[in-house]
């Protein structure tokens, strides 16, 4: 990340959990004024030490930020925070840009965009990839949909926590791309887990097996990051993907099977596999 400098773009974060907090820290460290709000008060503890000012409400963020990043769990959360009488859109000034960094359905971010357009507020869908480790390292890959002019205005702040920004098209396109990414991610997780389990069952040490596979044609991001992956959202991701496929008239038989199988691939199961001796069950799932 570049040396700290004074930046005039005021950045707001709604949601400073395991992803949002390190992202906000990178932005503040680059010299941007950063304001943050979270419905869980404990998430805001200690943020001032990183140069982040805690906000008392969503309305305070709306009134005092030029670029607002929303990182919350569900489609319903996004709509509640952005829309309605007490939402970001109602309180933000024209020219403000709202980036939906949550992984949601395309129609959700389009609904936010349609409401925001009436107040001349820009909306980007900006789902995140590479997980918590990417957020902490500041080397996330961002998928972006929306007006390219809004992307360019927000880019200096976005580059504080990312090393690759891919523009996909209008609002909603990035959520489609993220869903495609998630389909491949969870299918790969099931495949890696079952394949390693097969090798271990036949007597091959899992650490040696993985080291060998890193140099083979089966190498993948999931294979390399397996001990760090927290499979928190596969059920939601697969449900959204299958719903989108059904609405478009497309059958995804492999995805339907992955949705069934991925439920059994939780963090304790992966720890047991990698340990090959019962694993470390003290890790948080």
Residue 67 shares a structural domain with residue 144 = yes
The pLDDT value recorded for residue 8 is 85
- Is 70 exceeded by the pLDDT of residue 4? no
Question: What does the pLDDT look like over 259-284, one tens digit per residue?
Answer: 999 999 999 999 999 985 433 433 33
Q: Which helix (H) or strand (E) holds 124?
A: strand 122-125
Q: How many domains does the chain have?
A: 2
Phi-psi region of 104 (alpha: psi -120 to 50; beta: other; left: phi over 0): beta
Tokens of 106: 């395309």
The pLDDT value recorded for residue 84 is 81
Residue 43 shares a structural domain with residue 57 = yes
Question: What does the pLDDT look like over 206-254, one tens digit per residue?
Answer: 999 999 999 999 999 999 999 999 998 899 999 999 999 999 999 999 9
Residue 158 shares a structural domain with residue 192 = no
State which residues form the domain around 86: 11-170
Residue 120 shares a structural domain with residue 192 = no
Mean pLDDT of the region 254-261: 96
Examine residue 39 and state whether it is found in any structural domain, yes or no.
yes
Question: What does the pLDDT look like over 157-178, one tens digit per residue?
Answer: 999 999 999 999 999 999 999 9
| Ramachandran angles phi, psi of 60, nearest 5° | -65, -40
User: In whole numbers, what is the pLDDT of the chain averaged over residues?
Assistant: 93
189: CATH: 1.10.1040.10
Question: What does the pLDDT look like over 183-204, one tens digit per residue?
Answer: 999 999 999 999 999 999 999 9
Tokens of 273: 């596999």
- Is 80 exceeded by the pLDDT of residue 104? yes
The pLDDT value recorded for residue 276 is 59
Q: Is 45 exposed, middle or buried (0-12, 13-18, 19+ CB in 10 A)?
A: exposed
Is the separation of the CB atoms in 179 and 131 below 8 Å?
no
Examine residue 260 and state whether it is found in any structural domain, yes or no.
yes
- Is 70 exceeded by the pLDDT of residue 64? yes
149: CATH: 3.40.50.720
Residue 186 shares a structural domain with residue 142 = no
Is the separation of the CB atoms in 265 and 190 below 8 Å?
yes
Residue 142 shares a structural domain with residue 191 = no
Which sequence positions are flagged as catalytic? 178
Phi-psi region of 207 (alpha: psi -120 to 50; beta: other; left: phi over 0): alpha
User: 166: which strand partners?
Assistant: 143
| Ramachandran angles phi, psi of 205, nearest 5° | -60, 130
Residue 227 shares a structural domain with residue 86 = no
- Report the predicted TM-score, pTM, of the whole model to 2 decimal places: 0.90
């Amino acid at each position: 990340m570049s040396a700290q400098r004074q930046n005039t773009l005021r950045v707001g974060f709604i949601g400073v959990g395991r992803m949002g907090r390190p992202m906000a820290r990178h932005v503040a460290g680059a010299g941007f004024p950063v304001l943050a709000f979270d419905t869980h008060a404990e998430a805001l503890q200690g943020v001032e030490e990183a140069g982040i000012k805690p906000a008392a409400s969503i309305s305070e963020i709306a009134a005092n930020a030029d670029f607002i990043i929303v990182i919350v769990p569900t489609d319903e959360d996004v709509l509640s925070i952005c829309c309605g009488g007490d939402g970001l859109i109602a309180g933000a000034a024209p020219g403000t840009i709202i980036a939906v960094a949550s992984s949601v359905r395309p129609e959700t971010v389009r609904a936010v965009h349609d409401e925001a357009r009436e107040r001349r507020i820009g909306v980007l869908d900006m789902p995140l990839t590479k997980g918590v480790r990417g957020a902490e390292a500041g080397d996330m890959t961002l998928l972006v949909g929306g007006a390219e002019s809004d992307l360019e205005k927000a880019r200096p702040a976005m580059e504080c926590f990312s090393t690759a920004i891919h523009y996909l098209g209008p609002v909603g396109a990035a959520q489609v791309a993220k869903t495609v990414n998630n389909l491949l991610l969870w299918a790969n997780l099931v495949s890696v887990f079952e394949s390693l389990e097969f090798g271990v069952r036949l007597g091959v040490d899992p650490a040696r097996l993985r080291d060998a596979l890193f140099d083979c044609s089966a190498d993948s991001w999931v294979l390399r990051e397996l001990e760090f992956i927290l499979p928190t959202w596969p059920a939601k991701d697969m449900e959204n993907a299958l719903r989108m496929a059904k609405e478009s008239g497309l059958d995804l038989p492999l995805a339907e099977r992955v949705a069934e199988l991925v439920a059994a691939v939780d963090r304790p199961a992966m720890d047991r596999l990698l340990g090959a001796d019962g694993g470390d069950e003290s890790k948080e799932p």
